[in-house]
Amino acid sequence: MQGFPHHYLASAAGEAEGSVVVRGNGLPDLDTQSPPQFGGPEGVWSPETMLSATVANCFILTFRAIAAASRFEWNSLQCDAEGVLERPERTTLFTQFNIHAVLHVPAGANASMAQRLLEKAEKICLITASLKAEINLTTDILED
């Protein structure tokens, strides 16, 4: 791992109408629009859906690192993240993210350890730790 601070550069470019193109060095371009809730089209990534996806993605990557450090074997992890956008005190912001994680483990795995690791991943995920929204985690641990 590189020393801190780390820097992550992304850019976006758009015109008066149409997609905003998000770019990162060495990454494929990503077309984005406002979400349908704000009058945008269906089927296009928006900043709001990207943020929810980032929460889910970071949760899985954090769990992967914690499980490896704990030598905990697992098969797969599905994570759904629902961002809740509200307008408290006339300011539009995400007030909470509801994370539902479904962890598949080998038969005979320690379910209580799996639960602790999932909870730890929620606590130390750098994306959710950087947000002021409330984070709610629900889990299912299933043996394969």
- Does some domain include residue 20? no
pTM: 0.94
Domain range holding 104?
Answer: 47-143
Cα–Cα distance measured from residue 18 to residue 84, given in angstroms and rounded to the nearest whole number: 25
Residue 28 in any domain: the answer is no
Q: Look at residue 25 and tell me if it is in a domain.
A: no
pLDDT at 1: 81
Residue 127, in any domain of the structure: yes
Q: How many domains does the chain have?
A: 1
| Half-sphere CA count of 88, side-chain side, radius 13 A | 7
Query: Mean pLDDT of successive 10-residue segments in the chain (144 residues)?
Result: 94 97 97 97 97 98 98 98 96 97 98 98 97 97 96
Given this model, what pLDDT does residue 85 score? 97
| Residue 38 lies inside a defined structural domain of this protein | no
Q: What is the CATH number of the domain that holds 103?
A: 3.30.300.20
